[in-house]
Structure 1
């Protein structure tokens, strides 16, 4: 008669009793590892029949957590697109202008210093689509729905700021010809387009914005005028990945319209076991629904750890400080040698949206550089109930300007404080010290006389911050300019 043995899945030890002749304990970690707690009874060397469903549940759950991380970039864009279409009333051919602080509150880690002009274009509805850019100082780009940069538009693009017509071609159409147009073959059916004007004069921005046109190529002889839409005043909205079952509903909906790439076929196989499949309705049974909801919660916890406690090599700008590189992918394609940057991609797109090579500048005085801090100098999460200070030494390494912005850790959006301000920058009238440095303050109440240098935080909420350098100089790259950590004022 065979003896039944016990195995604890994903635990710190595994007890085997094969043939029940010898008991062996294998230590798999020096420290306890979190586990699902699923206990599996063994029938000799095989799982017992009553344990098989538990193993399948565990397998589906583990795969669902990884599908959550894999899908972050496409779900993030899909949710934001949904807000454009359903909440703002914008169409595929309209532009959305995010001008005020309130306009930008729903965007993942938005910049609080400059306006955004954005749209999501559905090539499935439009077919090939034209973006007509005027001559002028603009900087823009196109990204597919996996948030990979597809093209640069404006001064850094093929039109060189002289204006031109671009035509976006869906992945279903090959060898598209359109003389006189800049052709952009697209990886996905849905596309993101955003740009900003480089002239500080708001009247110039308004003039250039009115000249941008988006329309189906088939309607090029008589296009419908492009509208400029703003987020509805006074209406709260979030363009971030949803939670719970809504995450999977949004993923299922966007996958119906997009091609499956070779790199993603295994993930699509995992999703089939969870009731998510191309060409079929989203109708998970109760078992699958329970797993999906639990996996969305666990997946988000994994995403938080992966973003806020980055375990990638050389992620610190200064090895002895708590300032991480925010952009850790090697390039916009998300490819590295011999692998795709799965965890790097999940880290960035959990806390941010959009990515371009210009954001990863390696050339002094060009592009931008981003550093993120999630801890104080003692390694504790930044707490909205506490008071902190940060000293920015003299001569920050930025040709254009620098800014530091505070985000809500739960939403990863601009902090929605009564002050209605999340950023401090060299463009603002800050109080400077005699040596040229600047002391910044973060906390529920402003220190007396330092209101200009203060961002209000919210008790009961954690926060993190990005330090942006626009036109980072040699002193940034050689690290000869060094900034301290954020310190709690006790």
Structure 2
């Protein structure tokens, strides 16, 4: 038998079997490998659980509140946040609330619900059943019956006990948009006759992080959310692995020193695998143009995360390591509707993008966006907006000071210092930190879908 890697290479043989004294080495390796796979499987669940914890413990948001992210600093903990439009959302535990009422006012809003596996379970606002006319939505927990007196509600059936409700205002006037936000109500159905006040909570510039925690904290967060969630049939083999790793329903999490070491090592190895799976995608069709370094960032086929013969485990891990939430609009194939997302992690010479170097991106004339386009810079370590002195991480067609070339094209610049005379087109990067970029098209047009319009590579200047 050929030599085996890692711990298994140290195992002695006894008549073709592992030596009895070396069985602990075999079991250590088995537990480590299971922990690496569980890490990858749990990425979307732990991501939302961490963000929920921030809402409760850092922002003080309750089950009746919504959190409004407006400023650049507000969004610095939000994985691959859009830097141009506000976010309004909160996380709700239906174990605590029971059936939950969400009231949206009439007006231009777009929003929806997702479970903690980040599967979209309901659409609201202009794209929802109320078509922008407003209304009351009743979220029913898994296994619960529709309560009496539910007439007049739009029914939304949750697929998990924890949900995220989020929306955006589509009114360009800030005052009218704020009026819509202030009219949203969230409260338990049982308290509908005298509902608590729904507060609009602000991060107020407080430091926070919504990315998955590292080390043993990853498993602590996973244990906590597992206690408060239902188990999908598709996940029962993974929950069997959880049991072996000391995470079980109704039991405390108290790993001994051996298991703690394995879990801490596996979370580091799992993140390394997640980084490779995300920043060097190997899914068929990931590269959008064969001669460019821009990827289709979102490899998931649909919100169910289900392909014909399998569930999209690695595609899901790639997206939810670097991003949060999924909606059908992100996968639009209809010109003029939804959004398109492209990602770039390397320069034209296939080198990681380095915060100490200077780069240029040439955006050809007439980017195929009905509404607007933008380019955003993110830190690879946090997957959040770059926390630079500018407090600005994007440039795009909505920027009045953007300088255009005579032919209508745009040259954008990235680096630690601004190129002379091109400050308006510059995004500051940070030496010692790597970065990546998203190119977003809002209302992508036909020349994007047929690939006749091409975005250039990011070119290193030095």
- State the TM bucket, normalised to the shorter chain: over 0.9
Shift of 1:40: 1.6
Over 3 Å counting, the alpha-carbon distance change for 1:288 and 1:442 in structure 2 is same
Aligned to 1:8: 3
> 1:409 maps to what in 2?
380
How big is each residue's C-alpha offset from its partner over 1:155-209, in whole Å with a ceiling of 9 and x where there is no partner? Answer: 0000000000001111131344511101111011110011011111000111111
**Higher alpha-carbon deviation: 383-392 or 166-175:** 166-175
Is 1:170 paired with 2:141?
A: yes
Instruction: Tell whether the 8 Å contact from 2:390 to 2:428 is kept in structure 1 after alignment.
Output: yes
Distance 1:431 1:122 in 2: 47
Q: Deviations over 1:360-393 (max 9, x none)?
A: 1010000000000000000000000000000000
Q: What secondary structure, in the 3-state scheme, does the structure 1 residue paired with 2:407 have? A: coil
Give the greater-gyration-radius structure (CA). Answer: 1
Q: 1:447-458 maps to which residues of 2 (within 5 A)?
A: 447-458=419-430
- CA displacement at 1:272 relative to structure 2: 1.1
Alignment partner of 2:67: what SS? strand
CA distance in 2, matches of 1:260, 1:285: 26
Residue in structure 1 matched with residue 241 of structure 2 by the alignment: 270
Alpha carbons of structure 1 residues 412 and 54: separation in structure 2 relative to 1, 3 Å: same
Deviations along 1:84-122, one digit per CA (max 9) or x if unpaired, are 000000001101000000000000000000011111111
Is contact 2:379–2:433 with CA below 8 Å preserved after alignment?
yes
Task: Give the equivalent residue in structure 1 for 2:451.
Answer: 479
Which residue of 268, 271, 274 corresponds with 1:300? 271
Inter-partner Cα distance in structure 1 for 2:22 and 2:281: 36
- Name 2:82's counterpart in structure 1: 111
Gap change, CA 1:36 and 1:392, over 3 Å in 2: farther
CA offset at residue 45 of structure 1? 1.2
Q: Structure 1 residue 184 and structure 2 residue 179: aligned?
A: no
CA distance in 1 between counterparts of 2:293 and 2:14 reads 51
How far apart are the structure 2 equivalents of 1:140 and 1:161? 10
Q: Is the 8 Å Cα contact of residues 63 and 91 (structure 2) preserved in structure 1?
A: yes
Work out the number of aligned pairs and report it: 460
* Counterpart selection for 2:334 from 363, 369, 374: 363
Whole-angstrom distance in 2 between the partners of 1:65 and 1:101: 34
Give the SS at the match of 1:8: coil
Normalization by structure 1: what TM-score? 0.93
Q: Which residue of 2 aligns with 1:198?
A: 170
Who is 1:310 aligned against? Answer: 281
Structure 1 residue 232 displacement after superposition? 3.2
Separation in structure 2 between the aligned mates of residue 392 and residue 399 of structure 1, nearest angstrom: 16
Report if aligned partners of 1:275, 1:285 keep a CA contact under 8 Å in 2.
no
* Residue matched to 1:29: none
1:462 aligns with 2:434: yes
Structure 2 distance, partners of 1:83, 1:483, is 37
- SS of the equivalent of 2:114 reads strand
The question of 1:208 aligning with 2:203 is answered no
Tell me, yes or no, if the aligned pair for 2:7 and 2:25 is still in contact at 8 Å: no
1:229: which partner in 2?
Answer: 201
Matched residue, 2:12: 41
Q: What is residue 322 of structure 1 aligned with on the other side?
A: 293
Given that 2:7 and 2:26 are in contact with CA atoms closer than 8 Å, whether structure 1 keeps it comes out as: no
Q: Partner of 2:189 in structure 1?
A: 217
Q: What's the offset of the Cα at 1:37?
A: 6.8
Alpha carbons 2:140, 2:146 under 8 Å: kept: no
What displacement does 1:8 show? 3.2
- Report the more deviating stretch, 436-445 or 279-288: 279-288
Alpha-carbon deviations, 1:319-373, whole Å to 9, x = none? 1111001111000000001100000000000000000000110100000000000
Q: Which runs of 5+ in 2 are unaligned?
A: none
Q: Is the 8 A contact 1:167 1:182 kept in 2?
A: yes
CA distance in 2, matches of 1:269, 1:254: 16
Distance 1:186 1:123 in 2: 9
- Equivalent runs, 1:408-447 vs 2, <5 Å: 408-428=379-399, 429-447=401-419
The 8 Å contact of residues 377 and 487 in structure 1, kept in 2 or not, is answered as: yes
Distance 1:409 1:36 in 2: 31
Assess if the C-alpha contact under 8 Å between 1:116 and 1:194 holds in 2.
yes
SS in 1 for 2:218: helix
- Paired with 1:214 and 1:174, the residues of 2 have a C-alpha distance of 20
SS in 1 for 2:55: helix
Shift of 1:38: 4.1
Q: TM-score, normalised by structure 2?
A: 0.98
1:90-169 to structure 2, matched below 5 A, reads 90-169=61-140
